[in-house]
Structure 1
Amino acid sequence: MPELRQSIAQHYHERTKYDPQLLASKNKELDWSKQPVPFKEYKIGSAYDLKPYIQEESEAFANNPEALWWQRLSRLLFCSYGLTAKMPSMGSAVYLRAAPSAGGLYPAEMYVVSRGTPLLPPGLYNYQCRTHSLMHYWESDVWQKLQEACFWHPALESTQLAIIITAVFYRSAWRYEDRAYRRVFLDAGHLLGNIELASAVSNYRPHLIGGFVDEAVNELLYIDVQQEGAIAVLPLADLLDIKQNLPTGRTTLPSAKETNYPQIPDGELLTYFHHCTEIQSGTTGKLNLPEVKQEKSLEDKYNFPFCEKIPTATQPIDWAEKLEGLEVTILKRRSTRAYSGDDLTFDELKALLDFTYQPQNYVDQGFDNSTDYFDLNLIETFIAVSGVTGLEAGCYYYAPKAQELRQIRFKNFRRELHFLCLGQELGRDAAAVVFHTADLKSAVAQYGDRVYRYLHMDAGHLGQKLNLAAIRLNLGVSGIGGFFDDQVNEVLGIPADEAALYITTLGRLR
């Protein structure tokens, strides 16, 4: 029998792998005159200025409930995606935001949908990060349309606000071409991580929705679908209003699995693939999707008999009273540009893993112990250790359920890490390099081609948790979305079906 054709998600992943033999020949000069502006402007609308509320301490509004409400929303948006620095660049300026983005291109946009509160009239708002304001550009009530587009998700029943994340694809594709689709969703994952943590600071609980009718949400927002597309919906439960404290509901829905695709030219693959990942409404208006059998294993995936098993349970990171340390960390976060090459301690590595993967250990500090991801059962974590005191150099599998490291390769891989990170010194000089991977074929079988979005947003979300934990411990950290894919599998010693999604480097600051 002939072998079944790959799905479009697998085809896209193979097509966008970096190959050492081909990358140099494909490199081309960027046309800086066509660099996209990473901000959206609205010519018509009413602006709600949020700056006064971010500049004052909470105590200043102690007797003013309305001002306190505005301050909470202001803090949530600012800590999620606000401008935190202005850097000179080529005679102009680059604005850095609370969430990291590959190449500083910031493809994500944040919208707020209001059901209609005493302080925020119903309609659509775009978060204008340059002015830290909300632009009210559509004043009609659209909440029921949002509910319909999200298949009447229970998290939208009693909530009053929702955030919708969109991607403006050209902002990343200008530089990274078709592979930009990966980076767009990694960046969106960073933003989702910030929204989760900023919500803890401001007494909200975001409920992540990845399954919605794409066309309906795009139409609701009045966006140009040739340039932009909705990628996540997050109803915001106000934890100070008991009526909004809802069960989470379903986060993920599957899409179709596309195998009957044509020859797609370079430069058109990203757009074609995105449309293949969309959920379509049925002709009767009902949900027309395949069933999903979620695999909730109680065991971690890799458990080789020869593996030494090293416990990673540790003391939780202290984020200070009222999570003040978290807010400061979010706003001062920067990606590290160079490492010293010095070792981390094993206690530091354990603390990073604890914060990223063990939310139950942080409930007492005010964090949610059931953080929404799309499906973490699909994500695997490997760590290449080059310099961690008390830990032998080599490659390890991190088993989050068992809370232990399992050594699978016995070698210092600094030279190989330097190479597979496209020759970046970050790979060579890092003390440890964290890899997030997934069995793409199995994931597609479970969720269809849309799973490619889910995988990369979850990987980016985990990467952002690692980012902030490292900054809190005064360590260096930097995410890498560009790498030689097949060489990752060779270094880790994992099957070819395991797709590399994201790399996070960790080390001492130079």
Structure 2
Amino acid sequence: MDDPRLRISSCGALLWHAGQLVWHDTLTHRRFAIGEGADIVLRCFIAWQPLSLLREHARDDDHFQSLVAIAERMRAANILITWESERHRVEDVNEAAWHPWGRLVALFHGETRNLRDQTFITAEGDQERLRERLDLRPPPPASREFPTTRRVPLAATDAPPLSRAGFLDVLSHRRSTRKFSGDPVSFEKISALLRWGGGITELDEPTQTAFKTSASGGGRHPTEIYVHAHRVTGLESGMYHLNTRHHELELIGPPRDPDTLVRLLGDQGWVAESGCLVFFTSVLARSMWKYSTPRTYRMLHLDVGHLSQTFYLLAAALGLGMTFTAAIRDEKLEEFLGIDSAHELVMGCSVIGMPTDTSAIGHGE
């Protein structure tokens, strides 16, 4: 009998789904149901072992042949890989490349790759799909709205208080600022930042397709915006939600002390001298309504990146200092915002304040 050395693939995951174990091969995007008797085989090949090892776990010759047959099916499906095979080479390269970040990150990336035979929908097909979705269920609203007794309309900003107006001037002064003077920021400037950075400028009501000053995959704009104001003149301190449809702030929680904010944002002490924090989250249902492919998860991050850069440019134009950070204790922020992490994801935070004359500017950031 051929006696190859085998090991469980490192580019897959075993998940429980619909009453059975299913192997997800993240390199080929294939799924395989794991049947009875497979658990013995899998335990045998946690590390490299010869196929003949199965004899030690078999009750008799018939059971041994049954286990070998299971192993061979798993081998054909690349659930088990063969020593020095092409799949072994590919997995070793993959594992070495992703090792510092861990296997789960690599599995996520593999699961959201588009393979060479990926089919894409046409513009006409996309419109037809939208019509079908509308017949089946309405889309989630483009902006959340909180029940609250305290709503604050954003200040009128038809002529925002710009410190810089030329595009290249604004672009060249876009920097990450981590030294703030501790002086308050004006509600007028924060209103301009939020209105032009996060507000909806146009909305298709039936599909809840929104348009803003930043790009978003499919016009879904899954990013929600929350503001913690602690040094904003003309605005009561507290945690607010930005209603992007009505251009107003909804008070949803009390203010937190500086030590709590520093702790929340990765123990970064410079946060304490800021004027406000703008938190970004992603509402899964908003994008899932239109897109079922896991590739869409990547778009959530790209959307926040687009939005963050728009905030950066607006901050530069308004003479504000800003740094985007992803160093957040997600669980704590979820508690502060009252969000369910299964449906709304913590993505990042823009720390905003008045820069000092000798601001520590992050060159190239």
Check whether TM > 0.5. Answer: yes
The answer on 1:331 being equivalent to 2:164 is no
Match of 1:439 among 256, 279, 283: 283
1:111-150 equivalent positions in 2, closer than 5 A: none
Residue of structure 2 equivalent to 1:480 = 325
Match of 1:404 among 242, 248, 259: 248
Match of 2:314 among 461, 465, 469: 469
Residue of structure 2 equivalent to 1:346 = 187
Cα offsets for 1:37-90 (capped at 9, x unmatched): xxxxxxxxxxxxxxxxxxxxxxxxxxxxxxxxxxxxxxxxxxxxxxxxxxxxxx
1:89-488 equivalent positions in 2, closer than 5 A: 267-280=102-115, 282=117, 293=133, 296=139, 300-304=143-147, 306-316=148-158, 325-358=166-199, 360=201, 372-374=215-217, 375-440=219-284, 443=287, 446-488=291-333
**2:282 alignment partner, SS class:** strand
Query: Distance in 1 between the 2:182 and 2:144 partners?
Result: 31
Residue of structure 1 equivalent to 2:352 = 506
Letter in 1 for 2:222: L
Contact kept? 2:161, 2:318, Cα under 8 Å: no
**1:502 alignment partner, SS class:** strand
Deviation at 1:297, TM superposition (A): 5.0
How many residue pairs end up in the alignment? 245
Cα 1:410–1:369 change in 2 (3 A) is: closer
Cα 1:402–1:287 change in 2 (3 A) is: closer
Deviation at 1:451, TM superposition (A): 2.0
Contact kept? 1:384, 1:492, Cα under 8 Å: no
What percentage of aligned pairs have identical amino acids? 25
Residue of structure 1 equivalent to 2:35 = none
**1:341 alignment partner, SS class:** coil
Cα offsets for 1:290-338 (capped at 9, x unmatched): 967486555631321x341111152245699xx9612211112110021
Cα 1:434–1:354 change in 2 (3 A) is: same
Contact kept? 1:477, 1:506, Cα under 8 Å: yes
Letter in 2 for 1:465: T
Q: TM-score, normalised by structure 1?
A: 0.42
Cα 1:376–1:307 change in 2 (3 A) is: farther
Letter in 2 for 1:356: G
Cα 1:268–1:406 change in 2 (3 A) is: same
Letter in 2 for 1:350: S
**1:482 alignment partner, SS class:** coil
Query: Distance in 1 between the 2:195 and 2:269 partners?
Result: 27
Cα 1:332–1:456 change in 2 (3 A) is: same
Letter in 2 for 1:416: T
Deviation at 1:381, TM superposition (A): 0.7
Query: Distance in 2 between the 1:391 and 1:319 partners?
Result: 17
Letter in 2 for 1:308: R
Query: Distance in 2 between the 1:313 and 1:267 partners?
Result: 46
Higher alpha-carbon deviation: 379-388 or 310-319: 310-319
Contact kept? 1:416, 1:491, Cα under 8 Å: no
Query: Distance in 1 between the 2:168 and 2:187 partners?
Result: 26
Q: TM-score, normalised by structure 2?
A: 0.58
Superposition RMSD in Å: 3.7
Cα 1:286–1:420 change in 2 (3 A) is: closer
Query: Distance in 2 between the 1:287 and 1:369 partners?
Result: 24
Cα offsets for 1:337-373 (capped at 9, x unmatched): 2112221111111011122134749xxxxxx977532
Deviation at 1:468, TM superposition (A): 1.1
Query: Distance in 1 between the 2:323 and 2:194 partners?
Result: 15
Contact kept? 2:198, 2:225, Cα under 8 Å: no
Letter in 2 for 1:509: P
Query: Distance in 2 between the 1:434 and 1:476 partners?
Result: 13
**1:397 alignment partner, SS class:** strand
Residue of structure 2 equivalent to 1:245 = none
Letter in 1 for 2:350: T
Cα offsets for 1:96-132 (capped at 9, x unmatched): xxxxxxxxxxxxxxxxxxxxxxxxxxxxxxxxxxxxx
Cα offsets for 1:224-252 (capped at 9, x unmatched): x97xxxxxxxxxxxxxxxxxxxxxxxxxx
Cα 1:455–1:372 change in 2 (3 A) is: same
Cα 1:333–1:271 change in 2 (3 A) is: same
Unaligned runs of 5+ in 1: 9-224, 227-263, 362-367
Contact kept? 1:316, 1:355, Cα under 8 Å: no
**2:176 alignment partner, SS class:** coil
Letter in 2 for 1:499: L
Contact kept? 1:463, 1:479, Cα under 8 Å: yes
Contact kept? 1:338, 1:425, Cα under 8 Å: no
Residue of structure 1 equivalent to 2:338 = 493
Contact kept? 1:316, 1:354, Cα under 8 Å: no
Query: Distance in 2 between the 1:455 and 1:308 partners?
Result: 30
Larger radius of gyration: 2
Contact kept? 1:430, 1:507, Cα under 8 Å: yes
Query: Distance in 1 between the 2:254 and 2:112 partners?
Result: 40
